Amino acid sequence: MTALTIKLKASPEDHRIARMAALAIGLTLMEAALPSPLPGVKPGLANIVTLLVLKQHGMRTAAWVSALRVVVGSLLLGSFLTPGFFLSAAGAIASLAVLWLAQHLPEQLFGAVSLSVLAAFAHIAGQMAIVYFWLIPTAGVLYLTPVFAAAALVFGLVNGLVAAHLLATPVPATISREETA
Amino acid sequence: MKYHHLLRPGDWAVLAAGGVIVAGLAFTFWFGAPGQHLVIRHGGQLFLETSLNHPRTIDVPGPLGTTRVEIANHRARVVSDPGPRQICVHQGWLSRAGQAAICLPNQVSVEIAGRVKSYDSLNY
């Protein structure tokens, strides 16, 4: 009787996705520990990772990293399939959709900050859509949209600056370094 | 640490657009909600259109004297009126779109305007 081993072949891209997703999940977990004045107002540090991956490896990898971050992050936080999970999934899908469109903007004019701010606004728009049309369908939640939008603007700017800084750094920041061994 | 070199011209435009969106949302949801406008007419003419968000007292001149209108807590009322029967004063506080107090002798009407009117017209 021979032992049957199923061997899955992981391509370099799989490794890259796993590494970046792990980074994004780590940031998500760290962020969950931060106190927030208003539920939903979070820096969204994991979006920095999504931006870096998008800029360096393209949309497909960024979508994988984002999806893994949402699913695994919620599993680790114990919020899988709770409203919070659907909120973060809706935000991630909306911001990926906007990034997919925005990546075609001319790069000389629009840097990482543009992408980050646009993604942050899309993120909050997707979440508000879920809140308003599904979770809390009253006009009251709409009174909070200016606060959420302001937070999206500020955190979008900060995350974008961090991403732009990392992209501009001559030494590739952990990310793009492939296993050359 | 300088951050300017990280921002490209389009980034500034995106940030400005974001600021406009935030201001627009704040204006729409904080200052323009339904039933938030007060319309004061006298002699059939528009005298004043104002927000219910800011407490104030307005004196409206009429043929008999001064009708005093008060705005407080997103509501409005006629505080005093020179008319003989004081109907508009007894109307009390108005808070919903479509509600009105009419001081006929002094030709002053106070009405709350909003996106949706509760009724088209009223007959007394």
With 0-12 / 13-18 / 19 or more C-beta atoms within 10 angstroms meaning exposed / middle / buried, residue B74 is middle
Rounded to two decimals, the pTM is 0.67
Contact (Cβ atoms closer than 8 angstroms) between residue B95 and residue B35:
yes
At B120, the pLDDT band (50, 70, 90 cuts) reads low
Give all strands (DSSP E) within chain A, no chain letters.
Answer: none
Note the helical H segments in A45-111.
Answer: 46-57, 59-77, 83-102
Task: Residue A137: count other Cβ atoms within 10 Å of its Cβ.
Answer: 10
Predicted pLDDT of residue B33: 54
Note the helical H segments in B1-124.
Answer: 9-26, 87-90
- Using CA atoms, how far apart are residues A162 and B6, in angstroms rounded to an integer? 9
State how far residue B3 is from chain A, nearest Cα, in angstroms. Answer: 7
Name the residue of chain A whose CA is nearest to B23's CA: A146
Contact (Cβ atoms closer than 8 angstroms) between residue B8 and residue A109:
yes
The backbone torsions φ and ψ at residue B72, rounded to the nearest 5 degrees and listed phi first, read: -155, 140
Q: What is the pLDDT of residues B62-108, one digit of tens each?
A: 899 999 999 988 889 999 999 888 988 998 898 877 788 888 899 99
User: What proportion of chain A, given as a percentage, has pLDDT over 70?
Assistant: 91
State how far residue B11 is from chain A, nearest Cα, in angstroms. Answer: 5
Q: Examine the pLDDT at B10 and tell me if it is beyond 80.
A: yes
Q: Which of A98, A107, A109 to mutate to test the interface with B (most CBs of B within 10 A)?
A: A109
Q: Which ipTM was obtained for this model?
A: 0.82
- Using CA atoms, how far apart are residues B47 and B60, in angstroms rounded to an integer? 8
Min mean pLDDT across A16-20, A90-94, A146-150, B118-122 is at B118-122
Taking an 8 Å cut-off on Cβ atoms, the answer to whether B18 and A106 are in contact is no
Q: Which of B14, B18, B25 sits opposite A145 (nearest CB)?
A: B25
Taking an 8 Å cut-off on Cβ atoms, the answer to whether B18 and A165 are in contact is no
